[in-house]
Amino acid sequence: MPSPGRTRMSIAGVSRCRVSRSSILTGPGAAKDGPGGDNVARSATIPLLPRRGGTRQCRGRGGLLRRANQTIFLARWSGTENHTTPALRATPPRERRGDSTFPPRRAAERGEAQSHSRSGATMCSHLGQRAASGGMNKRFDAKSAVVTGASRGIGRAVALRLAAEGAAIYLAADGTEAELEQAAAACRDAGAPEAFWGVHDLAQAAGSETMVATAHARMRRIDILVNNAGVRVRKAFGEFSHEEFDRVVAINLRAPFFASQAVVPIMRAQGGGHIVHMASQLGIVASRYGAVYNLTKAGLIQLTRAMALELSADGIAVNAVCPGPVTTEGFLAGRNPGELEQRARDVPIGRFGTAEEVAGVVAFLCSKDAGYVIGHALVMDGGYVVH
């Protein structure tokens, strides 16, 4: 294990270090969350009935020509392999023009960034990426984002969403090189102009600072930081060891704290940025067998408020997302169908969330659409907290 603040070079020159996964389970937003459920919205081409007297174009400035065949997105109900809890997918947003805050990067910077392609990075040209993204909004053109815990689950979904909207991506995780490379390739296919990855142990002192420095060296700017990595130990209160306590606090709370401290000078020099912490519903309500996890998520919510108060004057917007149960591999692991069905019934809308839904909220908080949202811990849990 490398000493604090040092990295061990992996294949292709990517900085990396490791952390033991023994007795560690994942929770909402965890670094090792599995992929969200395969609840993919289907599209269908439905012929519209002709108007009486034939079709005609709506007149006036706001008129819209309705064609005989119009593609609409239908939400569908589906369940995971081991249970029948339905998940309703939301309608994708309509395409609109991008609203990038920052000007395009200088050609010299782009050329320099391309020189890092051999260092564990997945690169692609701008050609064809618009079509690959399926018409997704381009709110993050010319912006760069760092996402932790990005090899799978919520973190991967967030990276894909930001990539689809035009952001260059740095994916950080204590995962395998294969997982990160696959996630980076998926970001490239979604529309990211650049996709880099690095294996980082955020439990190590100075691990967060090393990650930020590496990402900045690759992308030359950081406009968005999503602190998503997290771990959870499920034990009854009274059974936690000092080592377990220290590890959960280090990854869930200390790492976001120091990653944010490291990125703030970069964002200040650029004129602003967005930081999103992945907190949890369990930072607001209590749960059994998760005392340490719960306290770290509550701490992350308060950290969000403190940072927002101090940094908003610098143009740095800080917010948090508090998901409820989300159908990632980590959440589903070890739970039987009966338990899952009961938990779904406890949610007012009768289902769990998806990683893609969380990613959509993160993208909103990082966009100009959320320009007046500061220091907020946005709960998305199907109504559980409010009932």
Across-strand partners of 147?
171, 226
From 170, 289, 293, 384, the catalytic residue: 293
Which pLDDT score is estimated for 135? 58
Q: What are phi and psi of 321, to 5 degrees?
A: -115, 135
> What is the tens place of the pLDDT at every residue in 79-137?
333 333 334 333 333 333 333 343 444 333 433 333 333 334 443 333 334 434 455 67
Q: Calculate mean pLDDT across residues 322-332.
A: 92
DSSP secondary structure letter of residue 144: E
Instruction: Clarify whether 289 is annotated catalytic.
Output: no
- What ranges do the domains of the chain cover? 18-40+73-380
CATH 3.40.50.360 fits 18-40+73-380, yes or no: no
Structure-model confidence comparison of residues 98 and 385, the more confident one: 385
Pairwise CA distance, residues 77 & 85, whole Å: 9
- Supply the DSSP symbol for 11: G
Rg (CA), the chain: 21
Is residue 290 classed as helix, strand or coil in its secondary structure? coil
What does the pLDDT read at residue 29? Answer: 39
Average pLDDT value for the chain: 76
pLDDT higher at 66 or 316: 316
pTM of the model: 0.68
Q: Do 80 and 327 meet the contact criterion of CB atoms below 8 Å apart?
A: yes
- The arithmetic mean of pLDDT across residues 278-285, rounded, is 97
pLDDT digits 0-9 by tens, 141-184: 999 999 999 999 999 999 999 999 999 999 999 978 999 999 99
**The pLDDT of residue 332:** 87
Give per-residue pLDDT as tens, 216-253. Answer: 999 999 999 999 999 999 999 999 999 999 999 999 99
